[in-house]
Amino acid sequence: MRVPYRWVIVAVGALMSCVAIGAMFSLAIFQEPIASATGWSHVGIASAMTLNFIVMGFGGFLWGAASDRFGPRIVVMFGSVLLGLALVLASRAETLTQFQLTYGMLVGLAASAFFAPMIAATTAWFDVNRGLAVSLVSAGMGVAPMTISPFARWLISAYEWRPAMLIIGVAVWVLLLPAALLVRRAPAETADAGTEFAVKGARPQLSKVFRSPQFIVLGLTFFACCAAHSGPIFHMVNYATICGVAPMAAVSIYSVEGLAGLGGRLLYGSLADRIGVKPVLVAGLLVQAAALATYLFVSQLGEFYALAIIFGSAYGGVMPLYAVLAREYFGQRIIGTVLGAATMLSSLGMAFGPLIGGWIFDTFANYSWLFIGSAMVGLGAAAVALAFPPLARDKPQPAFGVSS
């Protein structure tokens, strides 16, 4: 039986998100080996991740707008070339500043070329089961800690950090360049007549979109959600090691989070298709906040595994829901631009966590205040999400429902 091409788009999007985000987040695995080999401070190395998120935010907006105008294939092709090049150059950095510029700026710019364009392409191919399809593309991010992170750890053990990063850069070219050739526009994009911002097929005005309550709540919730979990994710391996967990076992905690995130994406995406996005999003944000606070009380490997399942499924599960809401509120014609703008805000939120976590550790020699602050920000994200306006529809549907 022939597989519809829309599922090829989903598979390609999942691969790209796995490789791109996995390569970027592998800095969490490289952090201690780089610090030991070079003498660079933890906060200096972590600041490369902060730069990653800042540049990724603005890049996501630009790449998203470019995908609306030129199509997703050219965008992801350029991103694939740039990502591999950035990792190769970072592996050759001789000073902290050089590393921050190559890994922090170029990797962030390259990694931002995949999420908004591929999510936009996926929403154009699906009119039914859209929440599940978007979640499957986003699931690549959940697979990344189970693949790229252990691979990076093995390479570092075998070859030291510079050759390891070089090999990952080359692997990016090998995997992503052929995949980019498979990306296509949908043959006929779904209609936007049911959205408030697409009247009689006219292109929505971006000034109206970005001032709307829908976008403001979307952006603020996305920002706070990512600000809450970015620091704990980035510093989790180091935190577990401090608690006495062996380095390779600590990396496995990161992998368990990723596996749980994969399951969470499938669960939350399916639930959103059935009962609506808002209640699922709010519930996931509350679970995330509770899990962050609970990290204050764990110290054994089994406890880390159990909490990683809860935390990973929560933050992994809610991430694709923002894209579904953006498509439902604003329609297909500007989904890349809108999602890119929302991703820009979320990336700015992500930028604070690694830097603040590194400063907390360098100052207090522990991560307690990181988890306390992250839990409070997580609760704030859930509170903001309650303010999402109802979706505009031509015919009555449950508020915040998704096409099915």
List strand residue ranges (DSSP E) for 272-356, in order: none
In a domain, 398, yes or no: no
| Mean pLDDT estimate for the chain | 84
Q: What pLDDT was estimated at residue 341?
A: 86
CB of 90 within 8 A of CB of 99? yes
**pLDDT tens across 292-351, in order?**
999 999 888 899 999 999 999 998 888 888 888 888 888 777 888 888 888 888 878 877
Angle (nearest 5°) at CA 233 between 133 and 250: 110
At 395 the three-state DSSP class reads coil
Write the DSSP assignment of 156-191 as a string of letters.
HHHH-HHHHHHHHHHHHHHHHHHHHTT----SSPPP
Q: What is the CATH number of the domain that holds 54?
A: 1.20.1250.20
How many C-beta atoms lie closer than 10 Å to residue 336's C-beta?
A: 30
In a domain, 16, yes or no: yes
User: Measured between alpha carbons, how far is 209 from 86 in angstroms, rounded to an integer?
Assistant: 34
User: Measured between alpha carbons, how far is 200 from 337 in angstroms, rounded to an integer?
Assistant: 20
Please tell me the total count of domains within the chain.
1
In a domain, 395, yes or no: no
157-177 in b/e burial notation, b at 16+ Cβ within 10 A?
eeeebbebbbbbbebbbebbe
In a domain, 89, yes or no: yes
What is the mean predicted confidence (pLDDT) over 204-214? 81
Residues 6+ apart with CB under 8 A from 12: 118, 179, 182, 183
**Amino acid (one-letter) located at 297:** F
Which sign does the torsion angle of CA 96, 101, 106, 107 carry? Answer: positive
Query: Per residue, what are the HEC states of 194-263?
Result: CCCCCCCCCCCCHHHHHHCHHHHHHHHHHHHHHHHHHHHHHHHHHHHHHCCCCHHHHHHHHHHHHHHHHH
pLDDT band at 196 (very low <50, low <70, confident <90, very high): low
Q: Give the range of the structural domain holding residue 311, as residue numbers without chain letter.
A: 5-385
In a domain, 391, yes or no: no
Q: Closest Cα partner for 34 from 165, 158, 168?
A: 165
Residues 6+ apart with CB under 8 A from 342: 215, 218, 219, 222, 322, 326
CB of 345 within 8 A of CB of 65? no
pTM beyond 0.85: no
**pLDDT tens across 360-388, in order?**
888 887 888 999 999 999 999 999 999 88
pLDDT cut 90: percent of the chain above it: 31
Residue 403 has pLDDT above 70, yes or no: no
In a domain, 401, yes or no: no
Q: Closest Cα partner for 379 from 191, 214, 261, 228?
A: 228
User: Measured between alpha carbons, how far is 15 from 183 in angstroms, rounded to an integer?
Assistant: 12
Q: What pLDDT was estimated at residue 291?
A: 94
Measured CA distances, 108 to 22, 152, 181 (Å): 12, 18, 22
Which sign does the torsion angle of CA 267, 269, 270, 272 carry? Answer: positive
Angle (nearest 5°) at CA 231 between 225 and 234: 120
At 77 the three-state DSSP class reads helix
CB of 75 within 8 A of CB of 117? yes
Residue 398 has pLDDT above 60, yes or no: no
Q: What pLDDT was estimated at residue 110?
A: 93
**pLDDT tens across 84-133, in order?**
999 999 999 999 999 999 998 999 899 889 988 898 888 888 777 777 78
Phi, psi of 331 (to 5 degrees): 85, 175
pLDDT band at 396 (very low <50, low <70, confident <90, very high): very low
What is the mean predicted confidence (pLDDT) over 26-44? 85
- Say which residue the tokens 């030129």 belong to: 70
What is the mean predicted confidence (pLDDT) over 275-292? 92
In a domain, 146, yes or no: yes
Q: Closest Cα partner for 191 from 181, 202, 205?
A: 202
In a domain, 280, yes or no: yes
